[in-house]
């Protein structure tokens, strides 16, 4: 069990550029979640997948954001036409599918800075 991994750990980009982040969940987990955390705040939910199906999306996830999990394993989060307000830590978590009591295990996050 190697834990949830995320890549890259840091990303600096210029406003208007597109960025893509990757998350690899714990291998036997079939639920995968994305959250966003801004400085001094708690994480906010963005979206989650069960296997390859995206089952819930937050209103925070504007049209510029898209997430995929094509084979039910790793996931990508893409932000198009980045804005300075997108600067945040993007967190990925995974859990197994058993019940709603399942613990979500978090990765180290990808810190995005938009200049």
Partner 1 sequence: GNSVTQMEGPVTLSEEAFLTINCTYTATGYPSLFWYVQYPGEGLQLLLKATKADDKGSNKGFEATYRKETTSFHLEKGSVQVSDSAVYFCAPLADSSYKLIFGSGTRLLVRP
Determine the size of the site formed for partner 1 (CB under 8 A): 26
- 33 vs 65, beta carbon nearer partner 1: 33
Tokens matching residue 89 = 């830590």
Q: Which stretch binds partner 1 (CB under 8 A): 13-21, 39-47, 63-71, 74-82?
A: 39-47
From CA 50, how far away is CA 73, in angstroms rounded? Answer: 10
Tokens matching residue 1 = 């069990």
Query: Is there binding between residue 104 and partner 1 (CB under 8 A)?
Result: yes
Beta-strand relationship, 10-13 and 110-114: parallel
**Partner residues linked to 66 by β-bridges:** 78
Q: Which stretch binds partner 1 (CB under 8 A): 10-18, 32-40, 64-72, 74-82?
A: 32-40
Q: Which stretch binds partner 1 (CB under 8 A): 19-27, 67-75, 77-85, 106-114?
A: 106-114
Query: Is there binding between residue 31 and partner 1 (CB under 8 A)?
Result: yes
From CA 46, how far away is CA 25, in angstroms rounded? Answer: 16
Q: How many Cβ atoms sit within 10 Å of the Cβ of residue 50? A: 15
Residues forming contacts to partner 1 in the complex (CB under 8 A) are 31, 33, 35, 40-45, 48, 55-56, 58, 91, 93, 95, 100-109
């Amino acid at each position: 069990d190697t834990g949830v991994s995320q890549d890259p750990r840091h990303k600096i980009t210029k406003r208007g550029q597109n960025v893509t982040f990757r998350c690899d969940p714990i291998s036997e987990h079939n639920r995968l979640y994305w959250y966003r955390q801004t400085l001094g705040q708690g994480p906010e939910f963005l979206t989650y997948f069960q296997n390859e199906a995206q089952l819930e999306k937050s209103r925070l996830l504007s049209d510029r954001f898209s997430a995929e999990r094509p084979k039910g394993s790793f996931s990508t989060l893409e932000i198009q036409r980045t804005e300075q307000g997108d600067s945040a830590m993007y967190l990925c978590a995974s859990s197994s599918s058993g019940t709603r009591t399942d613990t979500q295990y978090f990765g180290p996050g990808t810190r995005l800075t938009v200049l």
